[in-house]
Amino acid sequence: MCGICGVIGQDDGAALQPMLQRLIHRGPDEEGIYRQAGIALGARRLRVIDPVGGQQPVRNERGTVWAVMNGEIYNYRELREHLLSKGHRLATRSDTEVLVHLYEDEGFEAFRRLQGMFAVALWDHERRVAWLVRDRLGIKPLYYAIRQDEAGRGTSVVFSSEIPSLLEALPDWRLRPEGVAEYLMHLYVPGPSTMIAGVHQLRPGEAVNISDGRVELVRYYCPDETLYHHDQWTIKEASSEVLHTFEETVKSHLVSDVPLGLFLSGGIDSASLLSAIFGQSLQDPSFGNDSEAGCGHAYRKSGGGHGGAIC
């Protein structure tokens, strides 16, 4: 888990450092900043992919495209090979760097090629365009607000992985009563609104384009566009396809330069994950609570033993 934040527009980015301080718990390993006229990007990083070389923000060869990202791109190795074959020079092995080179070639269409969980802020210096992008399922959060600069220099957009960080750039913030009621009813606030007036959350598969003081929402992914309908499939064929897709998806999630683990409870979900990943990258030791309320510790003894893990 990492954290990103920034200010886009006619602003000096003075709020960036306080915003980053609020994200240290998301990215305790290191901090990175890119600041130029009209843009300030910040990242707090938790090292997972390319721990030594994967600092953020990242840029392309010419320094015309910059980005910060929270999350992971699971198909970055395939995309990296594609970029190398086209002559790109990548300075790191990080998944975030792949994004800026892919955007250099394909523009906004690059985001449609990403498989993963991510919240991205990207700055296109030549076009003076910024993008805020959230992954297809909305696994990684991203919040933003549009504000009028106090010095009268125009409109700016502030964004962050978390609302408390965002509020560092919004000193006059106030609660939105409807948002509080929504939270008490649902235990979350349905997007695009939040509990704070004027603060929005990007919805899954959504992006924000910021250019020349204009802010435009763009939906780049909708599940209905990619659903497959096979009315003639038998139960056996459907089961085989689901199993293959599940195993391939789990395999893609195991890409990491640091050790991996699994939260194993008494349910079929985590047991299925254990079965799919055992013998690949899972760390054997596990820890549990001896009480009955301890998330199925007795089950973990039998389930873990069946999978070969140490419990």
Return the SS3 of 158.
strand
CB neighbours of residue 147 within 10 Å: 16
Six-digit token string for 262: 């699994």
Distance CA 118, CA 137 (A): 10
**Nearest partner of 99 among 162, 57, 51, 40, judged by Cα:** 57
Return the SS3 of 210.
strand
Largest alpha-carbon pair distance within the chain? 66
Count the alpha carbons within 13 Å of 249 in the hemisphere toward its beta carbon: 11
Residue in 2, 5, 222, 295 annotated catalytic: 2
The verdict on whether 2 is a catalytic residue reads: yes
Question: Which element (helix H / strand E) includes 178?
Answer: helix 177-186
CA-to-CA dists, residue 157 to 11, 39, 54, 59, 172, angstroms: 9, 10, 26, 21, 15
Residues designated catalytic: 2
